[in-house]
Amino acid sequence: MTDVSLPTSDQIAAAAADIAAETIRTPVLALTSDRWRGILPDAASITVKLELFQQAGSFKARGVLLGLRRLDAVQRQVGVVAASGGNHALAVSWAAQAAGVSARIAMPSTVDPLRIEGCRAMGAEVTLCDDMPAAFAEMDRVVAQEGRAILHPFDGAHMTLGAAVCGAEYAAQAPQIDTLVVPVGGGGLIGGLGHGFKLAKPDVQVIGVEPTGADSMTRSLAAGHPVALDKIATIADSLSAPKAMPYSFAVAQQVVDRMVHVTDAQMRAGMGHYMDVLRLLAEPACAASLAAICGPLRDELAGKHVGIIACGSNVSVARWQTVMAG
């Protein structure tokens, strides 16, 4: 197992101060509207942190910015490379443009054109690949040939630290939360967010949510080591990590209390609820936490103070409609 030291409260506070001028202290919303009646579980309270309003449209911005901060002068001159299904790619493109650093992005050709065009509009060079495993292979090829620094979408101390900043912020905004429900792709969000929250409230229960067709972290935690998937089958392209990675897996082992699955149908229902009640255009990953509390976790959350996260939503109207149509 990879030996990892989680960031301290002082380190999280220092990171938060370091990026405060460039990032957004995203709001939280108590889901108390009568429009939620019959949709939400009979919990004592449910709060959502709206990270889809973060820079570049997702929680990724904090960790990416911290990763860029760690580059030396030579690395900044050569540039960075990343593989991503979209949200991380946009965050890297945004942060690199702001820092004056060259960025290359490897993305599956099937991602929403809005994400591809968004990266290119911010000056990134985008290479389209057959799928996420091919995108990671392209990232490795670029590193070998050009010597660019990798800004990994989830496996790195900077991504954990960025998510921990978000978690500490969330805990300060909603200290009543006793159960935190977080979507999981590669595990960078839940590891950092859960850790940052637990530093403030050690007894909070952290529950991870994965699609049934992309559950590498669930399988890895059960096996006790990182596991790669033979195939991925989910509408949630932002949760389509083909394998668990050593660092983020080791963090998850220390932070995550349990995992649950959601189906594509449950995520579509969550997307529909966000649109119908809050008028938010949520991608499947963004709706995963909501899908879990309305689905597999519904009965057990009675009387709990629940926190969920709308982690990002870089989705076009056309793609949203296509996904919802099934």
pLDDT of amino acid 4: 87
Q: Using alpha carbons, list the distances in angstroms from residue 191 to 40, 58, 62, 116.
A: 26, 16, 14, 27
Mean of the per-residue pLDDT values of the chain: 95
Average pLDDT for residues 44-48, to the nearest whole number? 95
Residue ranges of domains in the chain: 9-58+156-325, 60-150
The answer to whether residues 52 and 120 touch, using CB atoms and an 8 Å cutoff, is no
CATH (one of 3.20.20.10, 3.40.50.1100, 3.40.50.2020, 2.160.10.10) for 9-58+156-325: 3.40.50.1100
Q: What is the DSSP string of 62-111?
A: HHHHHHHHT--HHHHHH-EEEE-SSHHHHHHHHHHHHHT--EEEEEETTS
Domains 9-58+156-325 and 60-150 share a fold: yes
| pLDDT tens for each residue of 186-245 | 999 999 999 999 999 999 999 999 999 999 999 999 999 999 999 999 999 889 888 899
| pLDDT tens for each residue of 108-162 | 999 999 999 999 999 999 999 998 889 999 999 999 999 999 999 888 899 999 9
Q: Is the pLDDT of residue 257 over 60?
A: yes
Q: Is the pLDDT of residue 66 over 60?
A: yes
Percent of the chain with pLDDT over 90: 91
CATH of domain 60-150: 3.40.50.1100
pLDDT of amino acid 2: 67
Q: Is the pLDDT of residue 251 over 90?
A: yes
Residue 149's φ and ψ, nearest 5 degrees, are -80, 135
